[in-house]
Amino acid sequence: MRLPALHLLQAFSATARHGSISAAARDLHLTQGAVSKKLLELEASLGVALFDRIRGRLHLSPAGHRYLPGVDAALGQLEQATLGVMTLRGRGGVLNVMSTPTFGAKWLIPRLPRFLAQHPEVFLNFVPFSRGASPDPDLDCALLYGNGTWPGASSHYIAGHEYVVIAPPRLPASSRLRRPRDIALHALLQHPAEPGAWPRWCELHGVSHPALMQGPKLDQVTSIVRAVMAGMGLGLVPRCVVQDDIDAGLVAAPFSKDMVGEAGYYLTYPEGKNHLPPLATFRDWMLQEATGRDAPAT
């Protein structure tokens, strides 16, 4: 296999990233001369110029532009594989995790320092959230909102069945929420993932609303919370992702009775990955954390 040495590729990538040999040298903790020598050696081995040297400045050549994405991708994959081997040690490893943005920010991240302190052998790699009908088989696990059933996946309930009405903390006397029927004085903010939430709440409390399904639609719980704070209307959201805002007085919970919903936040993973040591560690920790407020159920 005609593969350039790793240190040559690192010099090329760093120089292309910084557009400067001196900056690449600082990044790699080498001298400028050493970086220049590596670039020349790489170009000689490839038989092409990767940089155009114009008036003392470096610019990627057409060949360099074509080569760089592949080099960066390969270096990134090698780094991930190396981290996996270094952290494995028979107990841990790299765990690729995806989470809905709101649950990740409001429930998971505040608890993660405890996990990292207890399990330094597990390296959590969070990937960007993408919507889908089922967990991505390329992921190790995902924290998703739903009814707990995804094809080809195991799932464990973590939190989110308890729904609470939230309102601006200070309302004028004419629109205060003293009884459930007072919601008719306000717009009801809608979440596309739970179109039946407000109708169920109204049925539970025996009240009606003149525009039950006509309030502004917002696709993130955090957006609904911000809209409530701005006075746009009332929200009906999982208590587990808004309790800190209630405690801080940013929003109010005017009614004492929560509604138990049909959906919630679940830890899910492909059935074929349940043997992974870091996944087992993360799953057990998540279920232990969930018992603090919501009892876990498989």
Of 7-16, 130-139, 255-264, which gets the smallest average pLDDT?
Answer: 130-139
Residue of 131, 137, 135 lying closest to 156 (CA atoms): 135
pTM over 0.85: no
| Bigger pLDDT: 83 vs 171 | 171
Question: Does residue 135 surpass a pLDDT of 70?
Answer: no
pLDDT in tens, 278-288: 899 999 999 99
User: In this structure, what is the dihedral angle of CA atoms 245, 223, 267, 86, given to the nearest 10 degrees?
Assistant: -90
Q: What average pLDDT does the segment 168-188 reach?
A: 89
What is the per-residue pLDDT for 85?
Answer: 63
Model confidence at 296, pLDDT cuts 50, 70, 90, reads very low
Whether residue 47 contacts residue 77, with contact meaning beta carbons closer than 8 Å, is answered with: no
Give me the DSSP letters along the chain.
Answer: -----HHHHHHHHHHHHHT-HHHHHHHHT--HHHHHHHHHHHHHHHTS-SEEEETTEEEE-HHHHHHHHHHHHHHHHHHHHHHHHHHHTTT-EEEEEEE-HHHIIIIIGGGHHHHHHH-TTEEEEE------SS--TTSSEEEEEESS--TTEEEEEEE--EEEEEB-SS--GGG--SSGGGGGGS-B-B-TT-TTHHHHHHHHHT---TTTT-SPB-SSHHHHHHHHHTTS-BEEEEGGGTHHHHHTTSSB---SPPEE-S-EEEEEEEGGGTT-HHHHHHHHHHHHHHTTTS----
User: In this structure, what is the dihedral angle of CA atoms 34, 36, 42, 43, given to the nearest 10 degrees?
Assistant: -160
Model confidence at 132, pLDDT cuts 50, 70, 90, reads low
Question: Does residue 192 surpass a pLDDT of 70?
Answer: yes
What is the per-residue pLDDT for 71?
Answer: 93
| Bigger pLDDT: 121 vs 137 | 121
Distance between CA atoms of 178 and 246, rounded to whole angstroms?
Answer: 17
Question: Does residue 163 surpass a pLDDT of 70?
Answer: yes
Whether residue 10 contacts residue 79, with contact meaning beta carbons closer than 8 Å, is answered with: no
Of 66-70, 106-110, 192-196, which gets the smallest average pLDDT?
Answer: 192-196
Average pLDDT score, the chain: 87
Question: Does residue 298 surpass a pLDDT of 70?
Answer: no
| pLDDT cut 70: percent of the chain above it | 91
Distance between CA atoms of 227 and 292, rounded to whole angstroms?
Answer: 29
Give me the DSSP letters along 134-155.
Answer: S--TTSSEEEEEESS--TTEEE
Question: Does residue 115 surpass a pLDDT of 80?
Answer: yes
pLDDT in tens, 244-263: 999 999 999 999 888 998 78
| Bigger pLDDT: 2 vs 97 | 97
